[in-house]
Amino acid sequence: MTSSATTHHEPRIVIIGAGMAGILTAIKLREAGYRDYVIYEKTDRVGGTWRENTYPGIACDVPAHLYTYSFEPNPEWSHTFAEGPEIQRYFETVARKYDVLKHVRFNEGIPTCRFVDGRWHLETSTGRKDVADVVVAATGVLHHPHIADIPGLSSFKGAWFHSARWDHSVPLEGKRVGVIGTGSTAIQITSALVDKVARFELFQRTAQWIMPIENETFTDADKEEFRTNPARLAAVKKEADEYFQRFSSAVIDAESQEMKDIEAACLANLENNVKDPVLREKLRPNYRAGCKRLIFSSDFYTAIQHPNARLVTEGIECVEPGGVRTKDGELHALDVLVVATGFRADSFIRPTTVLGRNGVNLDDVWSDHPVAYLSISIPEFPNLFLLNGPNGPVGNFSLIQIAEHQVAYILQLIEEIRAGRCREIAPKREVTREFEAERTVAAKKSIWSTGCKSWYLDKHGVPASWPWSRDRFFEVMAKPELDAYERV
Ligand code: NAP
């Protein structure tokens, strides 16, 4: 039922998380004239994933000029693919420029959120209580480290840590370093470290397809041109955008020509750039390119052929005080062990306890797998909006582009509240069920469904991703269909 009330109501809005999406939300709320909003950030700095991940070699494999807010182009990017610290500086600069910082309460996480009497009651990690009309969860996707359950890991006598918890106090020079995993993270670490350590061992459980990229250095002259000629900057962005447009239409259709072209490029990369036939076979994946998140790298194959490097493909038996023992009985003696085994990709706003209408617990609602209407909102959890939430196009194209479209959509829902047309807005159960059923069918056609293991898959083996085109995503995000929502 839609209320006929027209009273203007200034809603209080809580944003959880001051990473890319939280900063963006604050900027867009201010732009839309909202005055009463706060960001709770559990740490002492903005930046999200770029603050947390500081491993050697960290970079974004989406071209920097595309991985940039549309309203804040950055002529200063140093390379096509910017490194982590440079991206972190970008977010800090934007947050300062748009006066976001004064809205951030640092070192305050949100352990609980309860919807009681039409409003969200939050308690922060410092015991502060807050009551809000709207909660925007900008809590990231690949956020909570997954530490592989490898027997004996805690017995290791050297230093060990997860890639997202890099211990910079541990010296690496002259050391024997092992890395477990061959995801995007481990591949970047490999390229960065092989020639800086005494010995580098990469423990590979599954080989990866590697898409070659060219990482251009932008000279001072390039940057000056970008500063003075916005059309040139826009052209660089457009080129990257068109590349990703092809990639995002390829991944949703395993049989597409674009996907076959990507596979051919990866295969040629392997054949042409790995000389030793034994190593080449070890690096050859036995599933289709793109089934796991594609790895973009200009230098991994060079790095793994470095005299210091060794690719270990025997399975890991256990970790012992002196190193990693593989199933063939060999002990790989190590001083430092990096666990680059990824993230728990289904957490989203959790571990926050979120209780919706009548105390319904989000953990129970999501006990099978996380579901959200258009990846943004959940029945019985009114006025709670998720950015980069479940089953969105994470990995299909720039996460910033995705978040910008989602924020624009969410602002239109919040406007319903501000304009007094309703006090609570949540998607209808039936609409959400139908959406999820349709999404599941489409997801089975995607490249992620072609028979590999990856963080894209839910426990039923269904890709937890947006299975349609980028254009369809943009169209859907352009204007909410209010009939899909229950408004009271
Ligand atoms: P990931 O892709 O989930 O890779 C985890 C790796 O750990 C896999 O190679 C996996 O092997 C291995 N592993 C897990 N458990 C293991 C075990 N018990 N024993 C041995 N190996 C084990 O994690 P990630 O590399 O951190 O990357 C996660 C995602 O973050 C990426 O896919 C990407 O979307 C994003 N990322 C992006 C960038 C960027 O440049 N934009 C950079 C880094 C990460 P299996 O393959 O056999 O499961």
Residues 6+ apart with CB under 8 A from 44: 106, 107
Q: Is 293 in the pocket of ligand 1 (CB under 6 A)?
A: yes
Please give the backbone phi and psi of residue 435, each rounded to the nearest 5 degrees, phi first.
-60, -45
Please give the backbone phi and psi of residue 410, each rounded to the nearest 5 degrees, phi first.
-60, -40
* Interval between CA 427 and ligand 1 midpoint (Å): 33
Q: Which atom of ligand 1 is nearest to the CA of 81?
A: 40
* Interval between CA 55 and ligand 1 midpoint (Å): 14
Q: Is 63 in the pocket of ligand 1 (CB under 6 A)?
A: no
At residue 9, the pLDDT reads: 87
Please give the backbone phi and psi of residue 152, each rounded to the nearest 5 degrees, phi first.
85, 0
* Interval between CA 342 and ligand 1 midpoint (Å): 4
At residue 46, the pLDDT reads: 98
* Interval between CA 206 and ligand 1 midpoint (Å): 10
Cα separation, 313 vs 327, in Å, equals: 10
Cα separation, 205 vs 180, in Å, equals: 8
* Interval between CA 399 and ligand 1 midpoint (Å): 18
Q: Is 184 in the pocket of ligand 1 (CB under 6 A)?
A: yes
Residue nearest to atom 21 of ligand 1 (CA): 181
At residue 397, the pLDDT reads: 82
At residue 244, the pLDDT reads: 84
* Interval between CA 184 and ligand 1 midpoint (Å): 6
Nearest to 371 by CA among 428, 425, 436, 429: 436
For strands 199-203 and 176-180, give the pairing: parallel
CB 219 within 8 A of CB 197: no
* Interval between CA 350 and ligand 1 midpoint (Å): 21
3-state secondary structure of 359: helix
Residues 6+ apart with CB under 8 A from 484: 373, 427, 428, 431
- Which pTM was predicted? 0.96
CB 394 within 8 A of CB 470: no
At residue 364, the pLDDT reads: 98
* Interval between CA 279 and ligand 1 midpoint (Å): 21
* Interval between CA 321 and ligand 1 midpoint (Å): 24
Q: Is 88 in the pocket of ligand 1 (CB under 6 A)?
A: no
Q: Is 207 in the pocket of ligand 1 (CB under 6 A)?
A: no
* Interval between CA 57 and ligand 1 midpoint (Å): 15
Q: Is 316 in the pocket of ligand 1 (CB under 6 A)?
A: yes
Residue nearest to atom 12 of ligand 1 (CA): 181
Length of the chain measured in residues = 488
Residues 6+ apart with CB under 8 A from 199: 175, 176, 177, 308, 310
Q: Which atom of ligand 1 is nearest to the CA of 341?
A: 7
Determine the residue of 87, 142, 147 to mutate for testing ligand 1's pocket, defined as the one with the most ligand atoms within 8 A of the Cβ atom: 142
Q: Is 205 in the pocket of ligand 1 (CB under 6 A)?
A: yes
CB 435 within 8 A of CB 373: yes
Please give the backbone phi and psi of residue 296, each rounded to the nearest 5 degrees, phi first.
-105, 120
Q: Is 178 in the pocket of ligand 1 (CB under 6 A)?
A: no
Q: Could you say which residues of the chain have pLDDT below 50?
A: 1-5
